[in-house]
Structure 1
Amino acid sequence: MFCGLSAFPLTPMNERGLDEAAFVRLIGRLVTANVDSICVLGSTGNYAYLTMAERARALRLAVEHAGNIPVMVGIGALRTRDVLTLAEDAEAAGVSGVLMAPMSYQKLLPEEVFGLYEAITHALSIPLCVYDNPATTQFVFSDELHGQIAQLPNVASIKIPGVPEDPLEARSRVERLRAQIPSHITVGISGDGCAANGLNAGCDAWYSVIGGVFPTTALAITRAAQAGNAQEATRLSERLQPLWALFSEFGGSLRVVAAAAQLQGLVEDPCLPLPLKALNKEGRQRLGELIDELGLS
C-alpha cells in the first residue's frame, strides 16, 4: 500500500463537529477513482484540530466506506501517551497502516524523535509511514536519523518533503536517502508541485493533497511516472503550475483544496476548523476558473 497514489482527503468540519456525510462523499470519490490507498487524518485532514473521539470516529468511517482500498491514518499527537492510544484505535478499526509526524509545541531533539518512533513501532502490529514534514513540525530529519528509525520494527515507508527541481539533483536526493535505509522501505514524495519530479527520481509513492479532491488528475501523473514516461508526468504536472502557484500564494495547499471541494459541491462552507478559513471570494473565483480551464477531476 506504500506505492502509487496515496490520496489525502479533507476532514470536513465546522464548530459543531465533523461533517460525516461530506467526509463519506470524499472517501467514496476516491474509491470510485480507484486510488492506490487513502490516508485520512494527515495534515490535509486537520488531525491536530480534532479531539481523540473525533479522530476515532473519522477513521472508522473511512475504513467502513473505503471498500477494498487500503486505509492509512495519521496518529501524530503532542504526547507519546496519546500517540499510543491513537495507534490502538487505528489497529482496532482495521486500518492497513499508520502515518506519524513528530508533532510538537516545544521543538524536539533528534534523540527525542527517535525515542518517539521507538516507542510507537514496538507497540504496533501494522506498518508505519514516517512523516517528514518540517513545514509544520519545525523538525528537520537527517538522512542518518531516517536510517536509524528505519531499523525499527514495522517501519514501511518514509514520506519526504519536496525534492530539487533539477532531475539529476532530485535523483541524487532520493538515492542518498535510500543508501541509509533497508531496501524494503519505500520512499514517498509530498509537496504536490514537485511530485512528478519525485516520482521520476525514483520515489515509490505520491502522498498527495490534490489526490484527495482531484484523484483522476493525480492518478494520470502517477501512472505516467510508474510507466517510465517521465516526460508525460512532467508535462501533466507543469500544466498544473497555476494551481501550484495558488498553493504558494495562500500559505499552502489546505485552503485551496478546501475551497475546491466546496466549489464542486462535495463539502459545505465552512469546512475548516476556526480560525482556518478557505479562500476569499476573489481566490475562489480564480480557483473555479482554473478547475474549469484545466479540467481537474
Structure 2
Amino acid sequence: MFRGLSAFPLTPTDEQGIDATAYAALFARLAAAGVDSIGALGSTGGYAYLTREQRAHAAKIAVEAADGVPVIVGIGALRTSHVRELAEDAQQAGASGVLLAPMTYQALTEDEVFGLYEDVTRDLSVPLCVYDNPGTTHVHFTDELHGRIAQLPNVGSIKIPGVPDDPREAELRVAGLRALIPDTVTIGVSGDWTAARGLNAGCDAWYSVIGGTFPLTALAVTRAARSGHAGPAVDLSEQLEPLWALFRRHGSLRVISAAASHLGLTGEPNLPLPLRGLDGTARQEVVAALDTLGLTS
C-alpha cells in the first residue's frame, strides 16, 4: 500500500459542509485511473479545518467511493486523545491505513512527538504513515527521531519533504534515513516538484498533491521512475514546471483548488474559511498553465 502513487485529493468544503457528491466523484475518478492508494484528509484534504463528525463522514465516503483501492486517512489533531478517536473512526470506516502529522500550538519536544506516535500506534489495527511536513506543522523531524518512531508497532511508512536538487545528495538523503529504519517501513516523498528525484533516489512512494486531481499525469512520472527510467521521469516532471512554479508561488492547495473548480470537479468555493481561493489574476495563471500542459480535459 505504501508504494507507488498515493493521490491526495481535495475535500471540497464550504461553510455549509463537505460537498459529498463531488468528494465521492473525486475518489471514484482516482480509483478508475489506477492509482496505488488514495490519501483522504491530508493537508490537501483540509483535515485541520473539519470537525470529527465531518472527518468520520468523509472517511466513509472515501472508502466506499474508492471501490477497493486502499485509502489512507489523515488523523492529525492537537490532542492525543482526539487523534486516537480519529484513528478509531478511520478504522471503523474501513481505512487501509492512517496518516499522522504532529499538529502543534505549543512547540513539541522530540520526546513529546515520539510519545504521540507511541500512544497512537499502540492500539492501531492498520498501518500508519508518519507525516513529516515541517512547512505546515512546524515540527522538524531528525532522522534519529524517525528511526525511533519507525521501531513502533504498526508504523508502515514515512512521508518526507522534498529531497535535494542534486541527484547524489538526494540519494544520500534517502539512504541516510533508510539506514535507521526497519526494512518493513517504506519512504515516500512529497513536495511534488521534487518527486521524480525522490523516486529516482530510492523512495518507494510519491504522496502526491497533483495526483489527486491529475492522476494520469502523476502516474506517468511514478511508473517511469519505479521502472528504472530515471531520465524520462525527470523529463516528465520538468515539463510540469509551469504548474510547479505556481505551487511554489501560491501554495499547492490553492492552485489545486482553482484547478479543480476550473475543470468542474468541484464547485466554488471549495475551501473552508478562513482559506480563500486565488484572486482573478492568479486563477488566470493557473488556467493558462493547464492549457499549456494539456490538462484542461
Q: Corresponding residue for 2:132?
A: 132
The one-character-per-residue Cα deviations of 1:180-231 (angstroms, maximum 9, x if unpaired) are: 0001110000000100000000000000000000001000000000110000
SS in 1 for 2:122: helix
Q: What is the rounded CA distance, in whole Å, between the counterparts of 1:269 and 1:234 in structure 2?
A: 34
Q: Corresponding residue for 1:282?
A: 281
Give how far 1:47 is off.
0.3
Give how far 1:45 is off.
0.3
Counterpart amino acid of 2:47?
Y
Q: What is the rounded CA distance, in whole Å, between the counterparts of 1:191 and 1:216 in structure 2?
A: 18
Q: What is the rounded CA distance, in whole Å, between the counterparts of 2:291 and 2:241 in structure 1?
A: 15
Q: Corresponding residue for 2:248?
A: 248
Instruction: Please tell me whether the aligned partners of residues 25 and 65 of structure 2 are also in contact (alpha carbons under 8 angstroms).
Output: no
Give how far 1:256 is off.
0.1
Q: What is the rounded CA distance, in whole Å, between the counterparts of 2:139 and 2:170 in structure 1?
A: 21
Q: Corresponding residue for 1:43?
A: 43
Counterpart amino acid of 2:213?
V
Give how far 1:161 is off.
0.2
Q: What is the rounded CA distance, in whole Å, between the counterparts of 1:35 and 1:229 in structure 2?
A: 19
Q: Corresponding residue for 2:262?
A: 263
SS in 2 for 1:123: coil
Q: Corresponding residue for 1:226?
A: 226
Counterpart amino acid of 2:264?
G
- Which residues of structure 1 form unaligned runs of 5+? none
Counterpart amino acid of 1:44?
T
Counterpart amino acid of 1:56?
A
SS in 2 for 1:279: coil
The one-character-per-residue Cα deviations of 1:25-47 (angstroms, maximum 9, x if unpaired) are: 11111011110000100000000
The one-character-per-residue Cα deviations of 1:156-187 (angstroms, maximum 9, x if unpaired) are: 00000010000000000000000100011100
Q: What is the rounded CA distance, in whole Å, between the counterparts of 2:290 and 2:24 in structure 1?
A: 22
The one-character-per-residue Cα deviations of 1:49-108 (angstroms, maximum 9, x if unpaired) are: 000000000000001110121000000000000001011111111110000001111111
CA RMSD for the aligned pairs? 0.7
Q: Corresponding residue for 1:160?
A: 160
Q: Does 1:96 align with 2:112?
A: no
Give how far 1:284 is off.
1.4
Give how far 1:123 is off.
1.1
Instruction: Please tell me whether the aligned partners of residues 261 and 268 of structure 2 are also in contact (alpha carbons under 8 angstroms).
Output: yes
Give how far 1:242 is off.
1.2
How many pairs were matched up?
296
Q: What is the rounded CA distance, in whole Å, between the counterparts of 2:16 and 2:94 in structure 1?
A: 27
SS in 2 for 1:39: strand
Give how far 1:288 is off.
1.0
Q: Identity of paired residues, percent?
A: 64
Counterpart amino acid of 1:19?
D
Q: What is the rounded CA distance, in whole Å, between the counterparts of 2:24 and 2:61 in structure 1?
A: 7
Q: What is the rounded CA distance, in whole Å, between the counterparts of 2:101 and 2:198 in structure 1?
A: 20
Counterpart amino acid of 1:166?
D
Name whichever of 32-41 and 278-287 sits farther off. 278-287
Q: Corresponding residue for 1:184?
A: 184
Q: What is the rounded CA distance, in whole Å, between the counterparts of 2:248 and 2:166 in structure 1?
A: 20
Q: What is the rounded CA distance, in whole Å, between the counterparts of 1:243 and 1:291 in structure 2?
A: 8
Give how far 1:145 is off.
0.5
User: What TM-score do you get using the length of structure 1 for normalisation?
Assistant: 0.99
Q: Corresponding residue for 2:106?
A: 106
Q: Does 1:64 align with 2:64?
A: yes
Give how far 1:295 is off.
1.6
Counterpart amino acid of 2:185?
I
The one-character-per-residue Cα deviations of 1:136-170 (angstroms, maximum 9, x if unpaired) are: 11110000000000110000000000100000000
Counterpart amino acid of 2:177?
L
Q: Corresponding residue for 2:84?
A: 84
Q: What is the rounded CA distance, in whole Å, between the counterparts of 1:28 and 1:265 in structure 2?
A: 15
Q: Corresponding residue for 1:33?
A: 33
SS in 2 for 1:38: strand
SS in 1 for 2:99: strand
Q: Corresponding residue for 1:272?
A: 271
Q: Corresponding residue for 1:22?
A: 22
Q: What is the rounded CA distance, in whole Å, between the counterparts of 1:43 and 1:123 in structure 2?
A: 24
